[in-house]
Amino acid sequence: MDNMTATVNETVTPEKTAASVGSGSLPVYATPAMLALIEKAACVAVSPLLSEGETSVGTYLAVKHLAATPVGMNVSATAKLIERDGRKLVFNVTASDECGVIGEGTHERFIVLSERFTEKTNAKLNK
């Protein structure tokens, strides 16, 4: 599991601010945007483990948003796989901007069969 780490990056744009996504009123990097970037990093980290027809789905996020980031600054998120229990995957996650750490915590994902998961989800439409 030592090499199951990935880092992804993005630039804070007006569309990724709290004011724009509705998670606050200020023009700063939105917590939901940070969480999405963290999940993206975990998806990239786990991709080598997946077989044909498999994907992973996020099931748990416990992340502290520690510092605000302005529009125009770059943000990175890193996910490191620290535990695997069958289909359950646990990651240590961090997010940083150009000045330091802005978020940290734990993220869990489960490996699922893509087609089966989609069928089960879409079955809700027939209830």
**Which residues have a catalytic role annotated?**
31, 39, 65
How many angstroms separate the most distant Cα atoms in the chain? 50
On whether the CB atoms of residues 94 and 104 are closer than 8 A, the answer is yes
Q: Which residue has the tokens 């999405």?
A: 36
User: 62 by DSSP, 3-state: which?
Assistant: strand
Residue 58 CA to residue 110 CA, distance in Å, equals 7
**Two tokens, residue 19:** 């004011």
Residue 4 CA to residue 70 CA, distance in Å, equals 30
